[in-house]
Amino acid sequence: MTHEIKNILEVAWLWQQQGLKMVLASVVSLEGSSYRRPGVRMLWNELGEAVGVVSGGCVEKEIYRQAQQVFTSGTPKMMVYDGRFRLGCEGILYVLLEPVTIIQELKLASERAFKKRIAIAAESYFLPEEGSQAGMGTLLQLEERSYSMAPESKIQMELEPTCFKQHFPPLFQLYIIGAEHDAVALCKAAAAIGWEVTVVVSPEEEKTMESFPGASQMITPMYDDLSEIRVDSQTAIMLMTHSFTKDVQYIMGLQSYHPVYFGLLGPANRREKIIDKVLEFCPTISNEFLEQLHGPAGINIGAESAAEISVSIIAEILSVIRKQQPMELRNKSGNIHA
């Protein structure tokens, strides 16, 4: 959800510069099941424009209707949406609606946090009952300081509000090593779900940023100096150069890296040949590093085209980082998206 709060903050600042009033809608509690879980947010402006979603579409219109009171009064409001009697949802959503003002200190602090890949947190204080009430609202924790989403309205602890706490890790980042059409398709797909994508191409490739829609950056390091690649617990690497020699060189150059996911394009016998060649040149490379290579990368969904292969790869990355065994949802008991 980190990319969602990042987008909301960026758009909120833009709308604020245009003089528009805004209301932030945050799902802070849930009884039963819903399309999405607590912690999802969306932002409306007074013109009826929105960014973000909190459901599959069945709740948003009601949120905007009830937000009109907040636009007018400037007082936060709790909205209770009972989806048991409507199509699409089967639970009761508790949605905090609050006016938004972004001070410059918050804007700058959030930009630093996202750039430096520092985790942030949010605390939303609310009363779990329908109605307007001053003193409710959301605080963002950045750089050991709290910032209110609406500085002019103070959160009143004497109301003994319920607090919904949320942790936002650094944006998930994907390094795509390769420049062929399937790398372009993977770049587009990964960017569409909010990942920060860096494309790594060899220096001799005649490629530009425009070649990779959705990429945050493109780098062209030498094989023996990959220090520009910064790996943390929110990082995946996908190696897809279509060159046996390049793959071997990149793997040797990345042997000290341990991303949460490391994928290798191509069939299983190609993976074994690459590993054999790597061991020939670098016999001291650790088994731990080699065992982390997911090759062939992706989940078996019968993918054929570049776009379908990108779906397969992203599905496997998600299954790994969320520790889920891929299966048909009709065979899963309990909540389907938890």
> Residue 216 phi/psi, 5° resolution?
-80, -35
- Strands (DSSP E) along 68-160, which ranges? 77-82, 92-99, 120-126, 131-132, 137-142, 145-148
Q: Does 336 reside within a domain?
A: no
Residue at a domain's end among 168, 190, 205:
168
User: How many domains is the chain partitioned into structurally?
Assistant: 2
pLDDT at 88: 53
**Which of 168, 202, 219 finishes a domain?**
168
At residue 154, the pLDDT reads: 79
132 plus 210 within the same structural domain: no
**pLDDT reading at 284 higher than 60:** yes
- pLDDT, position 11: 97
**Helix (H) or strand (E) run with residue 111 in it:** helix 104-116
Q: In Å, what is the CA distance from 281 to each residue of 38, 203, 336?
A: 51, 22, 46
Domain carrying residue 20: 2-168
Domain identity same for 106 and 181? no
Q: Specify if 326 maps to a domain.
A: no
Quick one: which of 297, 194, 181 has its CA closest to 239?
Answer: 297
pLDDT at 334: 66
Query: 202 with 148, same domain?
Result: no
Residues 16 and 138 in one domain: yes
- Give SS3 for 41: strand
Residues 262, 180, 217: CA angle, nearest 5 degrees:
65
Residue 337: predicted pLDDT: 59
The DSSP H or E segment spanning 238 is strand 235-239
pLDDT of residue 329: 77
pLDDT at 46: 96
Question: In this predicted structure, what is the pLDDT of residue 34?
Answer: 66
Same domain, 208 and 125: no
Q: Are residues 211 and 159 in the same domain?
A: no
Residue 213 has which token pair? Answer: 């829609």
Whether residue 180 is predicted with pLDDT greater than 70 in this model: the reply is yes
**18 lies in the same domain as 122:** yes
Which CATH number does the domain housing residue 245 bear?
Answer: 3.40.50.720
Q: Strand, helix or coil at 239? A: strand
Residue 328 inside a domain? The answer is: no
Q: Which of 51, 61, 57 is nearest to 3 (CA)?
A: 51
Q: What is the pLDDT of residues 192-235, one digit of tens each?
A: 999 999 999 988 888 889 999 999 999 999 888 899 999 999 99
Tokens of 10: 């960026």
Q: Within this chain, do residues 145 and 263 fall inside the same structural domain, yes or no?
A: no
Pair (150, 184) in one structural domain: no
pLDDT, one tens digit per residue, over 40-75 is 999 999 999 999 988 767 788 899 999 999 999 999
Q: Does residue 149 sit in the same domain as residue 53?
A: yes
Q: Are residues 141 and 225 in the same domain?
A: no
Give, to the nearest 10 degrees, the angle between helix 244-253 and helix 268-281. Answer: 60
What is the pTM (predicted TM-score) of this model? 0.88
pLDDT at 29 over 80: yes
Q: What is the pLDDT of residue 335?
A: 65
Domain-located, residue 337: no
Q: Looking at the domain assignment, is residue 129 inside a domain?
A: yes
Ordered strands of the 162-168 beta sheet: 145-148, 137-142, 120-126, 162-168
Q: What is the mean pLDDT of the chain?
A: 91
**CA 7 from centre of chain:** 10
**Has residue 89 got a pLDDT over 60?**
no
Looking at 105, 138, 168, the residue that finishes a domain is 168
Task: Give the pLDDT confidence score for residue 33 in this predicted structure.
Answer: 65
pLDDT for the residue 336: 62
Q: Are 85 and 92 spatial neighbours (Cβ–Cβ below 8 Å)?
A: no
For residue 331, tell me if it sits in a domain.
no
In a domain, 295, yes or no: yes
Please state the rounded mean pLDDT for residues 114-127. 94
Per cent of the chain over pLDDT 90 is 77
- Confirm whether 314 is domain-assigned: yes
- Assess whether 85 and 113 both reside in one domain: yes
